[in-house]
Amino acid sequence: PNARGGSPQPKDPKSMLARRDPHGLWPLFAAFVLAGGLSFYALALARANHSPVALWLANGALIGWLLQRPLAQAWPVLVSALLGFVAAKVSLGDSLLETMLLVPFQALETVIVSESIRRRFPQITQDTRFIDLARVGVISALVGSGLCALGLMCILHLWSQVGVLMALNTQFRAHFVGMVIAGSASLVFTLHLRRVPAGRIWPLVRDLILLVAITAGVCVEPRVPLVFLVYLPLLWLVYRHRFAGMVIGMAIIALGVSLATTVGVGPFNLVVGVTPAFRIVMGQVFIGITCFVALPVALVLAEQDRLRKQMQESELRYRMLADYSGDLVMRIRPNGDRMYVSPSVKDLLGWEVEDFHKPRPDLIHPDDRERIAAEVVKLRMEGGTTNATYRLQHKDGHYLWIEAFARLVPSPDGDDTMDIIYTGRDVTERVRIEQALLESQGQLRTVTDNVPAVIARIDMNERYTYVNRYVEQVSGEIPSEIIGRSVREVRGSGLYERLKPYLDRAYDGESVIFEYAAEYRGKPLHFQCHYVPDRDARGKVRGVYALTTEITHIKNAERELLRLAHQDMLTGLANRRYFSERVSIFLMQAQQRNAMVLLALVDIDNFKAINDTYGHAVGDVVLAEVGQCLQKLVREGEMVARLGGDEFVVLCNDIGSLKQAKAFVQSLWERLHITIDAGVAKVTVNMSVGAAICKNELSDDALMKLADDALYKAKEAGRDTYRYLTHGLGNGDGGGGSSGSNGANGHQDIKLGQAR
């Protein structure tokens, strides 16, 4: 238990290491020892044999270490490694100043390679493309080794008087080959070997021991050049252990060949008459050739493993999706056999996977079989993809609607055939909803097409998107020919200009009702239109619904009712009600023009005797003929009305003078002496006329009273005569009158229904 009484905490190796090394000194010490030891080995070996350095491994050994942490955190490790290099040089007797001048170039090479790899591959994993990694590593090693060799060349030439080309040549080869081998080994060790399972360690160790034995044998053989024998165990390592085997094997061969060549043994010492430096060059060339023999094989195998792993993972993901998906997934061969059927067939259709390995066209609904067979033939012939919705029988006997997607793909069996990848899902509920929606739409269309009104929708561009069939009865136009056309095109420019203001109000969100008249098929028609904005879910207007109803019959009925309300049924003249409504207007118009007004009351003399003698039918004929005669005697704009019984009235407001008014009254009286042929008898009609003539403000009641007084005077004078009274006309005010002839000379003959 810990100090707080809790349970023991698990031991973490990293935390234990941190407790042993709280200041992080272990990596610094390891870098110092590694870089210093490799530098000391290379320099001491070369100086002991008076030859150039064959293989510079110190810089490459740091690559894997530096890639594990950002450069800002890797500086302490890099500085420790450079201090190890300085210690190695100083311990061999080199000048401290010369050594310090070489340090920046050693660091430059390491930083260039590590940072180039880090920028291209921030994280190196098993899925990393090692071909790309090798390309970046080799190119950066060439650049880094070249820059480092140039710097070292300058210092060695100035300090030790070494030849320029000699210094550049030896330094570049040693650094480049060492960087490739040591850098690769460092990467493999830090990123790969620590994750190798224990079961694979011993085969790797066994194969490495074989390579070490063969390398040692060919390097100490003083008589026959057998160096090519290292290729067999190296390629075996590459084949069995891929990149890790290649890197470690190359490190063993490089160390063995460089060591043997430097100490003067091995196959390259069989060449007679050459300098030790040339033997070092041959060893370096051999090591480089060995790298370029093994590296492509290792990279190809690593890429093959990576692709195989990706394919396996992809296949696993696909199989998981297919096996656990609710959709039915199948791979169908050209003969119809199913090479794969997903287990979802059990949940979807109730059948076992084995039941679907053979074609089952019998499960397709009879009404859909021919269509689906045609789709399959088309897919086989044209390729690509297709989709279809059809009914498939469940094991229980009922049918489900299946939406199927199919694609023609090359068969993975490698027999140059094409398979169908089929995916089907249950859309029964969706199809039922769609069918219900279609049925509802059909019902709605039936209703709208038979509503006695034109129903249309107009979009924001003033184009029709829907019109019901009732428009054919109104205008004779076919709905399909209206869809897509603008309101101006369909209704014409003239009518469009009248509709445009109401349409704009509807687009602004206002519901508008208005009436208008138009002519269709040569007939004038009246319409009532209702514009209703069509709004989306957010309330934005996206169009207008138009409901247009023909109201011609209503307008005709209104006019007929108005006529019946204002017209005398027997004579066809205006009735008392209409006369009462119009008389005040006549007076106002006369006052505005300062004109005379004449109102004449006409009464049939002894009309009761006519009814009593000949009957009411003849009396009605007499009234009708008198009304027609009066209508013919007045001009346009003058008014004739039947006030009731046998009493008529004539109203004029365009009389030029009193003389003209008197002449009109006399003419009216004279021309009303008529004989009417009523069929059963000829009836002679006489009239009494009383006229009022005025030219000032006078109410309609006062005017009627004045005319009534004049009529009373005419009847008092013995009937069959006329009298008139004036008002506001100077000397004629309140008196006047004239008698008419009562003789036969004043009569006109009129037959029933015929005037002449």
Do residues 78 and 34 lie in contact, with contact meaning Cβ atoms separated by under 8 Å?
A: no
CATH of segment(s) 325-433: 3.30.450.20
**What per-residue confidence (pLDDT) applies to 400?**
93
**What per-residue confidence (pLDDT) applies to 530?**
92
Q: What is the pLDDT of residues 561-597, one digit of tens each?
A: 777 777 788 888 888 888 888 888 888 888 888 888 8
Mean pLDDT rounded to a whole number for the chain: 80
pLDDT(167) > 70: no
Which band of pLDDT confidence, cut at 50, 70 and 90, is reported for residue 545?
very high
Taking the domains of the chain in order of start, what are their residue ranges?
20-189, 196-320, 325-433, 451-556, 570-751
**What per-residue confidence (pLDDT) applies to 639?**
87
pLDDT(138) > 50: yes
Look at residues 460, 463, 480, 464 and name the one whose alpha carbon lies nearest to residue 472: 480
The arithmetic mean of pLDDT across residues 14-23, rounded, is: 42
Look at residues 574, 554, 555, 557 and name the one whose alpha carbon lies nearest to residue 566: 574
Alpha helices, DSSP H, located in 333-424: 344-349, 366-382
Q: Cβ of 743: how many Cβ atoms within 10 Å?
A: 9
Tell me if the pTM is above 0.75.
no
Domains 451-556 and 570-751 share a fold: no
Protein fold of 570-751? Alpha-Beta Plaits (3.30.70)
d(C-alpha 365, C-alpha 399), whole Å: 8
Q: What is the pLDDT of residues 614-635, one digit of tens each?
A: 888 888 888 888 888 888 888 8
When mean pLDDT is compared over 24-33, 194-203, 709-718, the highest value belongs to 709-718
Using DSSP, state whether 476 is helix, strand or coil. Answer: coil
Look at residues 160, 163, 155, 166 and name the one whose alpha carbon lies nearest to residue 276: 166
Say what the alpha-carbon torsion angle 79, 85, 87, 88 is, to the nearest 10 degrees.
160
231-263 and 25-48 are packed helices; what angle lies between their axes, rounded to 10 degrees?
Answer: 70
Q: What is the pLDDT of residues 661-716, one digit of tens each?
A: 888 898 888 888 888 887 777 888 888 999 998 887 678 888 889 999 999 999 88
Q: What is the pLDDT of residues 308-355, one digit of tens each?
A: 777 777 767 766 666 666 788 888 888 888 888 888 888 888 988 888
**What per-residue confidence (pLDDT) applies to 2?**
39
**What per-residue confidence (pLDDT) applies to 480?**
85
**What per-residue confidence (pLDDT) applies to 632?**
85
d(C-alpha 490, C-alpha 507), whole Å: 19
Q: CATH: 1.10.490.10, 3.30.70.100, 3.40.720.10, 3.30.450.20. Which one for 451-556? A: 3.30.450.20
